[in-house]
Amino acid sequence: MKRIGIGVVAVIAGLGVGGAGAWGVSHYLPQFAGGAAHGKADTKVETAFVPAGEILAPLVFADGRLSGYVTFECQLEVPKDASDEVGAKLPLLLNAINLRTYRSPLASGPDGLVPGLAAFRKVVMDAALEVYGKDVVRSVAVTRASPA
């Protein structure tokens, strides 16, 4: 009977310690408890699309040779309150894109073709990270791409 009593007490003590630990984590570290458990709703930020205009970029092979040129248009999804700042720094973004396209082998598809729009999107996102900083540009939408 003594063994059964010790086992029951151990189970009850374990549940108490585990429950207290869970309460402590949810109370002092709410990001691990989902955040919305204490009435803190996730805030949605309104975004706007800022057109970057037509961009002329060189298509470069992996060995550095020039394959040709391509024009593409893209729009940047940014928080609505940052759209004016993003629009003001567009020349810096276009310069950063131009400098990256010479170093990026965009003509890596068969016969020097572009393998897909993901390559343009990655170049623009990397340039936007450099120009605007982290968490300003949420996504890039490439709306048109054609050989020049």
pLDDT in tens, 40-80: 555 688 899 999 889 888 888 878 888 888 888 999 999 99
CATH (domain of 74): 3.30.479
Same domain assignment for residues 129 and 56: yes
Residue 143 structural domain: 47-147
**3-class DSSP state for residue 66?**
strand
Domains held by the chain: number: 2
The answer to whether residue 33 scores a pLDDT higher than 60 is no
| Dihedral sign (CA 38, 40, 41, 42) | negative
Backbone angles phi, psi at 61, to 5 degrees: -70, 170
Tell me, yes or no, whether 56 and 127 share the same domain: yes
Q: Identify residue 143 by its one-letter amino acid code.
A: T
pTM for this predicted structure: 0.66
Q: What is the pLDDT of residues 99-143, one digit of tens each?
A: 888 887 777 777 666 667 888 899 999 999 999 988 889 999 988
β partners of residue 58? 69
From CA 55, how far away is CA 36, in angstroms rounded? 42
20 domain residue, yes or no: yes
Q: Nearest Cα to 102, choosing from 141, 134, 137, 56?
A: 56
Instruction: Please tell me whether residues 3 and 26 are part of one structural domain.
Output: yes
Phi, psi of 45 (to 5 degrees): -95, 130
Q: What is the pLDDT of residue 34?
A: 57
